[in-house]
Amino acid sequence: MLFHVEMDVRIPHDLPSETADKLKATEKARAHELQKSGKWRHLWRIAGRYANVSVFEVSGPQELHDILSSLPLFPYMTMTITPLCRHPSSVREDDR
């Protein structure tokens, strides 16, 4: 099932830059892994903001939480979660 997630990142200015860089690198590796596994189905940058719009395909809220809360940048992100389902006017087979 699908969940729409908006992630807004706000890294405190007094976090040492090496710490931030390390977190970002690990975050990227984890994002690659999750996309390849098919769990993180879509990932777009919101133009002009340090934020993204994502769609996750998971077995339920529990798996969604386990994935999101284990992201390295989780403590610095505000998450907005929206459960999705099939739209009656949709013609695309995989949007469900």
Q: Which residues bind its own copies (CB under 8 A)?
A: 1-5, 11-15, 27-28, 31-32, 35-36, 42-50, 52-53, 60-62, 64-65, 68-69, 75-76, 79, 81-92, 95-96
Q: How far is the CB of 22 from its own copies (least distance, A)?
A: 15
Q: How far is the CB of 35 from its own copies (least distance, A)?
A: 5
SS3 label, residue 53: strand
Q: CA dihedral in degrees (24, 49, 1, 36; nearest 10)?
A: -40
Give 51's contacts (C-beta < 8 A, 6+ positions apart): 6, 7, 8, 9, 45
Return the number of the residue (22 or 81) whose C-beta is nearest its own copies. 81
